[in-house]
Amino acid sequence: MAYDNKEQLFDLLNKLEISDEEQYVRITGHSDPFQMDSDYIPLSNFKTRLEHSDLIAIISRRKFCSHMQPIISAKDEKIYAYEFLLRPLPGEPDFQPFQLFDVARQSGLHSFLDRQARISAIETSARKLPHGIKRFINFLPSSIYNPNYCLSHTFEAIEKYNLDPSDFVFEVVETEKIDDVNHLQNVFDVYRQSGIRVALDDVGAGFSTTQLVEELKPDFVKIDRDIIRNCEQGAGKQRVIQAIVDTAQSYNGIVLAEGIERLEEWEYLKHAGVDLGQGFLFGSPQLEPIDYT
């Protein structure tokens, strides 16, 4: 079926989409150095790529980089680690990370984007951080359909740059709904078998509960920022924080509080037994490591 312009193409796609049978589009005549696509993709994915061609270009051409936010040790107030966060390349079109990942999901590119974001963080850490500084990197459990295969690119990148796997901590991304605990446990197991540690994000809010912490026993437990805000003033928040700390300490887990913006919050959290802190109090995400004293 032929079309003369973009409007006619969308009209054609809409007609195909209401068919009883699932429709696929064949991708031909394209160069795919990152192995982004199979030859056929669902029609709905193809429509999303047309509707959000600007964001698809950012994804397919890797027009993004990794910024670093410091993580501070409560024990000595020194930098313990950095979390790597996806940001636009300088001079390239702006985007919101959550929007980029949302379009990636709708277009069938979430596994590709998740993998390339991990590799970007690993490459950046190799250039800018010394051995011994931990590197926290997000991942989407739903993008890792086969842990041994899907994570092979990650392990190859770590080996390529002669990095120590024990310096890496991979954490479940904050927007990811955990609806398959067994699958997540399998992903954690594959990471740990390679000497990499794992973290559970946003504990205390949404789907990350203390029960999930007890079941998965992540090496690092990150307390949700909404619980941290003004925590020195609220007895309810303090009970949640103490329950998380007690649960993690029961199996020697390390507790990290994120979203710390005030010194009063940090002072209370240290008193409560939190091991690590992260937030604007210590520094915002930047292209370069900070000089924190």
**Confidence at residue 175, expressed as pLDDT on a 0 to 100 scale:** 43
pLDDT band per the 50, 70, 90 thresholds, residue 50: confident
Note the pLDDT of residue 44.
81
Q: What is the mean pLDDT of residues 228-244?
A: 95
pLDDT tens digits, one per residue of 251-260: 999 999 999 9
What is the DSSP code (8-state) at residue 146? Answer: S
Interval 73-101: pLDDT, tens = 999 999 999 999 999 999 999 999 999 99
Percent of the chain with pLDDT over 70: 83
Residue 235's identity, in one-letter code, is A
pLDDT at residue 22 tops 80: no
Pairing of strands 197-203, 168-172: parallel
Indicate the domain borders of the chain.
Answer: 65-278
pLDDT band at 14 (very low <50, low <70, confident <90, very high): low
CA angle 97, 188, 34 (to 5 degrees): 50
Query: What's the Rg (C-alpha) of the chain?
Result: 21
* Model pLDDT, residue 277: 99
Kindly report the pTM of this predicted structure.
0.87
How far apart CA 104 and CA 109 sit, in angstroms, is 5
2-22: average pLDDT = 54
CA–CA distance, 232 with 199 (Å, rounded to integer): 25
Per CATH, the homologous superfamily of domain 65-278 is EAL domain (3.20.20.450)
Q: Given this model, what pLDDT does residue 34 score? A: 42
pLDDT of residue 41: 73
pLDDT > 90: what percent of the chain? 70
Residue with tokens 């594959």: 190
pLDDT beyond 90 at 169: yes
